[in-house]
Structure formats: structure tokens, C-alpha cells
Amino acid sequence: MGMIRSVVCGYGSCLPKRAVTNQELEGVVETTDEWIIQRTGIRQRYVAGDDETTCSLGEGAARAALENAGLTVDDVDLIIVATSTPDNTFPAAAVDIQSRLGMRHGAAFDVQAVCTGFVYALTTADAYLHTGLAKRAIVIGAETFSRILDWTDRSTCVLFGDGAGALILEAVETEGSADDRGILAAKLRSDGNHKDKLFVDGGPSSTQTVGHLRMQGREVFKHAVGMITDVIEAVFDATNIGADDIDWFVPHQANKRIIDASARKLGIDPQKVVITVDRYGNTSAASIPLALVDALKDGRIKKNDVVLLEAMGGGFTWGAVMVRW
Ligand code: UT7
């Protein structure tokens, strides 16, 4: 029986102008290039300048994705932005980006699931397209975590970076088989009992300040691999597609050690894993689309490839999506 699926028809990204190396951070906090590389795999990250914000980076990614798809905003009726670092508490980054793009129709809203934000946003857009609530969506992951870091805390400030990536999804009538292009399955999870392990210590209703990121890194690490592999197994079960059948694994880029351990546990060939954490650091909701865009631009991901996406982060939230490109 035929069904509507969300097929990716465009992609784009936007990074801040300035890259900051580990060596530069040696002058900011007591750390070393060697420690950062060994514990995380990160060599550099991009940091937004005064003229760059989450919305300006998100706008850049959206414009690049529209150009890549050969579309204009007239062809789109939904914008979803995954971010935890919006320019303002409200309105949503999505409506800010909507206005920057010169779009006055359709609907635009934000999704906040921290590092799992892009997986949540993609799944939400898929539900809108699947049910006919929208026809074409721009899904953006955009962050400026540099603005919420405590630059005196070496255990967090060396880990994160800024950037934005976007995909355009289109509702397409398909056969309803596992060979279809588009989103084949998605699984979302959360457990708020872990909310104090990775959080920002401020907010409009509590402190009336923006606050800074706080993380019990070792605690997050301890849970990460189990949660990631569990939700991926659920997507494997839902699609009947296993580790050997996927073409590319594009995980959230928090830590190379977490990525390697997850891939090993799932039996995913290391050659199929897309890694960008070395160049971008952890860009939270932007990390999956940034990694996808890199692998699309250099020709690794091709039409009809089966791509597995996964993320885990603050909340905790975690999730996975299987897409045939
Ligand atoms: O994207 C959302 C999800 N977030 C994550 O997945 C992050 C998960 N956690 C991690 O990636 C890792 O836990 C970290 C990279 C944050 C830390 O690595 P770790 O191997 O768990 O190190 P640790 O926290 O156990 O710290 C080891 C040592 C400590 O010193 P002592 O107590 O052993 O003397 C830290 O004080 O490393 C020290 N340390 C540093 N040393 C140099 C912590 N940060 C630094 C630093 N430079 N930047």
C-alpha cells in the first residue's frame, strides 16, 4: 500500500568565520592539546563572532539548502529549528529565520531537545509531512554554545562549538516498502530524572539570567553508549535493516570515544562512520546536519544510500532515525 514519506531534497550548512584551535585554548584555561585530543578527538571548533548569532548561522544554512534543492521559500510551508541557544527567549529562532528568508506564509517553531534536537526536529517534520499538515519543511539545527559556556571551566569550555546545518524534506508518495527513499523509521526517548547531569544554570522563570552550561561529563559518558545503542536497536527492529545493511552512520558528535564505542557495540564498520568532531567540536543540535552536509558534499553519501542518524544529550534525551537518501 502506498504511503507518504519525507524525502530529503536539499542540504546546506553555515559555520562561523573563526576557528579556534586547542592550542589557543591552552591560553584560556589550564588544558593541553594532547588532553583534548586524547579524551575527545577534538582538534578545533568554530566560535561565533560579534556579528554572528544562532539565527544568522541558521539563515545561512537554510539559504544554502534552498539553493542546493533548487527551491525558494515559496516552495516551503514549514520551518523547524532545533536549538538550545536562540537569539532571544522568544520569539522562536524559527520565526526569526523565517523573516530573514522573506517568508510570510506557513508555520515556524523551535524544538528544544539539546544535542538530540535535530533528531527530534526531523522526526517532528516527518510527522507533519506524513499526515499532510505540511508539504515541504526546512529542518535546521543551529547553535552558538560558545555564548553559554563558562570560559573558566576547563571541563566544558573545550568541548563545544558553534554552527548550523539544514535539510529540506519533501512529502513524496511512495510504495510503502523498505526500498522507499525517505525517512523509514524514527525513535525518540527521554528521561528527565537525569536533568541535573547536563543543564544550564539559568533561565527566564528561575534566575532571569541566561546561565552557563554545567555538565557531569563522566556521568553523561557512563549512560551514553547504552542509551544510544538501545534506541538504534529499536530502529533496526522497526526497519529490518541492520548494521551490515546501512551505508553510513552519522552520529551526534560529542566525543570520538563515545562514537567509536557505540559503533563497536553495534557491529558497525568504522569505515561507515562519519566523523567531524575533530574539526567542529560538539555543536549540539547542529552536529548531525553539519556532518551530513560534509559527507554529502564530498560524495560519500549518495542517492539511495541508507543512513543511520543518532543523538544523545541533555535531559537526558536520545533518539535515532533511519533514512534512505
Ligand atoms: O553532547 C551531549 C552529550 N555530552 C557528552 O556526551 C559528553 C560526555 N562526556 C565526555 O565526553 C567526557 O566525560 C569528557 C570529555 C567530558 C571528560 O573525559 P573523561 O575521560 O570522562 O575525564 P574526567 O571528567 O574523568 O576527567 C579526568 C581528569 C580530571 O582530573 P583528575 O580528577 O583525574 O585529576 C579532570 O580534572 O581530567 C581533568 N580535566 C582536564 N584536564 C585537562 C578535565 N577537563 C580537562 C581539560 N584539560 N580540559
Nearest C-alpha to atom 17 of ligand 1 is from which residue? 217
Other CB atoms within 10 Å distance of the CB of residue 144? 31
The DSSP letter of residue 75 is: G
**For residue 147, what are the β-bridge partners?**
none
pLDDT of 280 over the 80 cut = yes
Instruction: For residue 162, give the nearest of 237, 52, 258, 318 by alpha carbon.
Output: 52
Name the amino acid, one letter, at 115. C
* Distance from the alpha carbon of residue 39 to the mean position of ligand 1, in angstroms: 7
The pLDDT value recorded for residue 15 is 98
Look up residue 42 and give its three cell numbers: 577534538
155 C-beta closer than 6 A to ligand 1: yes
Catalytic residue among 115, 194, 212, 255: 115
| Mean predicted confidence (pLDDT) in 127-145 | 98
86 C-beta closer than 6 A to ligand 1: no
Mean pLDDT taken over the chain: 98
pTM over 0.85: yes
Tally DSSP H helices, then E strands, for the chain.
10, 13
What share of the chain has pLDDT > 90, as a percent? 98
pLDDT of 40 over the 90 cut = yes
Name the amino acid, one letter, at 247. D
Burial zone of 90 (CB within 10 Å; 0-12 exposed, 13-18 middle, 19+ buried): exposed
| Mean predicted confidence (pLDDT) in 102-119 | 98
Q: What is the pLDDT of residues 154-193, one digit of tens each?
A: 999 999 999 999 999 999 999 998 899 999 999 999 999 9
The pLDDT value recorded for residue 159 is 98
* Distance from the alpha carbon of residue 301 to the mean position of ligand 1, in angstroms: 32
Number of the ligand 1 atom closest to the C-alpha atom of 282: 1
pLDDT of 1 over the 80 cut = no
146 C-beta closer than 6 A to ligand 1: no
217 C-beta closer than 6 A to ligand 1: yes
258 C-beta closer than 6 A to ligand 1: yes
The pLDDT value recorded for residue 9 is 98
The pLDDT value recorded for residue 88 is 98
The pLDDT value recorded for residue 178 is 84
| Mean predicted confidence (pLDDT) in 67-95 | 98
pLDDT of 214 over the 80 cut = yes
